């Protein structure tokens, strides 16, 4: 009878080895990265390890061989249930914390190390003395140590957890016949090794039933993998995309060594067909070496052009990102480049046309601004010219400021100040002619009304420039109209702003506005000499005007005098 079981163990061992080869071929046929078949491979390996241990123990010729067989049984059992658990967890899509999975794996590794060296300590067996039984074969009645009890608890824990997962999945998928069948087979495969193990522990016999249970479990798992074709859909989807994508894909490891590629990549780079895994890209071909080191971004092969992109493959396992490899993608951009060439020519023509149209629109806008400002001035100042002169004075001041540009302002900003300066008195449209055209001094009440031209001017500017795309231009114009009568010491109007709180564009406008008023003739006053006007402006620096603008006024005041000397009597 014992010889029958020994022969049976040997036959079961051969079946297990055959199953292991079948799993390997299945994984290669499906995908090297297929997680279910990969986990199944580990299950079969440790089933073979356990069955080999039972076989060696049954034919042991001395205590050492018996003990070695026992070590293989315990080693296989230490890992078998963990990988069975992993296999079912993946198939049933049960989500678990990463730390728990890693912890279980570490416990299995530690337990495997202790079980394989149990003869050197008393944690697994307190005593283990093989002896020759009545049938002439070796047997043993060991005394369990503390880790052996933990070993048995671990087997019970995994078995119960697997049964719970199986029953839960059965209840969740009872309307899907194929899923139900697969789940039932999984539950049976769990019971096959668990029940014989329980019987062997409860009734001590000279032969073991566990190898038969392992063999049935193995056959059922193989049936599920080969016939029922249970696979991880995510893995299959990744493989499908990898194989069917139109771009060529080359995968490199973290040392930029060749790992794999899809069929499209071998069509683009035929040298990859004979490339060995872990080969340097430069050893495969010069152009692949240039692609790998990032010096080649475009490849022309025949009449086709391929654009090259590189992406790092990052892994954030355990909360720490690390680069695991690199993916190189070669995309056919031939038609795209032709389209770009056509678009480039069209774009150049379009940009030129838009530039011309934009210039025309800007000129029309500027003329409109000037005309509106002149209309206002004609009500206020019959002699005219104030709008143009103040704009020119602003331009002269700004040209002086741009020589060192200590204010750090852009050319676009300065240009906006010059273009919108004519709108500084636009608010006078809202002032009654009786006040606006009064030749004498204003009463306090009249002056309060006159002051409103600043706030009204800001509103009118916003209305006139409503459709201007450059919003900063509108803001500059509003600030000039609103604040050009503010004073550095805070005694101006309409809001009594002081110092740098006054926008810089309004501070520039204030100097131009006052200077023109001083050197120009009005119906109620004669014009002032250049020297007198100069002294008034300089003495007002720090009270009326920004003292930081003083040096620019000094630098350009001769230009201003020359400018006004050429202006007709005003």
Q: Beta-carbon neighbour count of residue 286 at 10 Å?
A: 12
d(CA 198, CA 147): 18
Q: Beta-carbon neighbour count of residue 267 at 10 Å?
A: 13
Contact 325, 251 (CB under 8 A): yes
Contact 199, 209 (CB under 8 A): yes
d(CA 413, CA 530): 29
Beta bridge partners of 545: 541
d(CA 477, CA 465): 9
- Residue position matching structure tokens 């010219």: 385
Beta bridge partners of 261: 250
d(CA 301, CA 310): 19
d(CA 97, CA 100): 5
Contact 468, 365 (CB under 8 A): yes
d(CA 9, CA 56): 9
d(CA 169, CA 324): 35
d(CA 123, CA 146): 6
Torsion over CA: 66, 68, 151, 15 (sign): negative
Cα-based distances in Å from 122 to 49, 74, 107, 142:
23, 15, 18, 11
d(CA 170, CA 174): 6
Gyration radius of the chain's alpha carbons: 46
Q: Indicate the burial class of 43 (C-beta count within 10 angstroms; 0-12, 13-18, 19 or more).
A: buried
d(CA 64, CA 32): 39
> What is the side-by-side strand order in the sheet with 248-253?
258-261, 248-253, 322-332, 304-315, 298-301
Beta bridge partners of 330: 248, 308
Q: Which two tokens stand for residue 152?
A: 């048995």
d(CA 77, CA 49): 9
Q: Which two tokens stand for residue 290?
A: 């240039």
Q: Is 428 a catalytic residue?
A: yes
**Helix, strand, coil content of the chain in percent (nearest 5):** 65, 10, 25
- Residue position matching structure tokens 């695991």: 324
Q: Which two tokens stand for residue 562?
A: 């020359």
Q: Beta-carbon neighbour count of residue 532 at 10 Å?
A: 12
229, 321, 337, 428: the active-site residue: 428
Catalytic residues: 428
């Amino acid at each position: 009878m014992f010889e029958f079981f020994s022969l049976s163990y040997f036959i079961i061992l051969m079946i297990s080895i055959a199953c292991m080869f079948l799993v390997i071929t299945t994984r290669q046929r499906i995908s090297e990265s297929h997680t279910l078949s990969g986990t199944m491979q580990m299950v079969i390996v440790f089933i073979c390890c356990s069955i080999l241990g039972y076989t060696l123990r049954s034919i042991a010729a001395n205590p050492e061989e018996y003990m070695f067989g026992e070590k293989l049984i315990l080693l296989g059992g230490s890992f078998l249930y963990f990988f069975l658990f992993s296999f079912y967890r993946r198939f049933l899509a049960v989500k678990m914390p990463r730390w728990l999975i890693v912890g279980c794996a570490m416990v299995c590794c530690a337990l495997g190390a202790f079980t394989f060296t149990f003869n050197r300590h008393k944690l697994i067996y307190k005593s283990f003395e093989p002896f020759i039984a009545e049938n002439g074969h070796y047997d043993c009645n060991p005394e369990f140590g503390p880790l052996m009890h933990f070993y048995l608890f671990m087997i019970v824990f995994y078995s119960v957890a697997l049964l719970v997962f199986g029953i839960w999945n059965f209840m969740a998928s009872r309307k899907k016949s194929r899923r139900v069948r697969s789940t039932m087979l999984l539950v049976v495969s769990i019971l096959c090794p668990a029940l014989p193990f329980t019987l062997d522990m409860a009734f001590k016999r000279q032969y073991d039933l566990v190898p038969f249970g392992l063999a049935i479990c193995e056959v059922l798992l193989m049936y599920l993998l080969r016939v029922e074709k249970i696979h991880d859909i995510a893995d299959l989807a990744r493989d499908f995309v990898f194989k069917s994508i139109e771009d060529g894909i080359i995968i490199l490891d973290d040392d930029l060594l060749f790992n794999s590629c899809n069929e499209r990549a071998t069509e683009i780079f035929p040298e990859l067909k004979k490339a060995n895994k872990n080969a340097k890209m430069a050893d495969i071909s010069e152009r692949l070496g240039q692609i790998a080191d990032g010096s080649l971004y475009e490849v022309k092969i025949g009449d086709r052009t391929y654009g090259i992109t590189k992406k790092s493959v990052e892994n954030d396992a355990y909360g720490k990102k690390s680069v695991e490899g690199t993916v190189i993608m070669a995309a056919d951009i031939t038609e795209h480049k032709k389209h770009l060439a056509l678009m480039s020519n069209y774009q150049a023509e379009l940009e030129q046309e838009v530039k011309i149209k934009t210039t025309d629109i800007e000129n029309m806008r500027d003329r409109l601004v000037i005309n509106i400002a002149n209309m206002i001035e004609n009500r206020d100042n019959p002699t005219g010219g104030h709008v143009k002169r103040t704009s020119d004075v602003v331009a002269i001041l700004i040209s002086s400021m741009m020589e060192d540009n200590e204010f750090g302002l852009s050319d676009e900003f300065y240009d906006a100040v010059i273009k919108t300066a004519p709108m500084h008195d636009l608010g006078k449209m809202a002032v009654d002619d009786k006040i606006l055209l009064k030749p004498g001094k204003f009463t306090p009440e009249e002056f309060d009304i006159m002051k409103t031209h600043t706030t009204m001017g800001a509103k009118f500017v916003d209305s006139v420039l409503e459709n201007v795309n450059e919003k900063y231009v509108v803001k500059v114009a509003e600030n000039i109209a609103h604040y050009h009568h503010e004073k550095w010491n805070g005694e101006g109007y309409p809001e009594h702003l002081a110092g740098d709180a006054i926008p810089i564009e309004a501070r520039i406008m204030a100097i131009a506005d006052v200077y023109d008023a001083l050197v120009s003739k009005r119906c109620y006053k004669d014009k002032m000499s250049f020297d007198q006007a100069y002294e008034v402006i300089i003495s007002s620096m720090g009270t009326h005007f920004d003292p930081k603008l003083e040096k620019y006024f000094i630098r350009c005041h001769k230009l201003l005098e020359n400018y006004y000397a050429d202006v007709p009597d005003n």
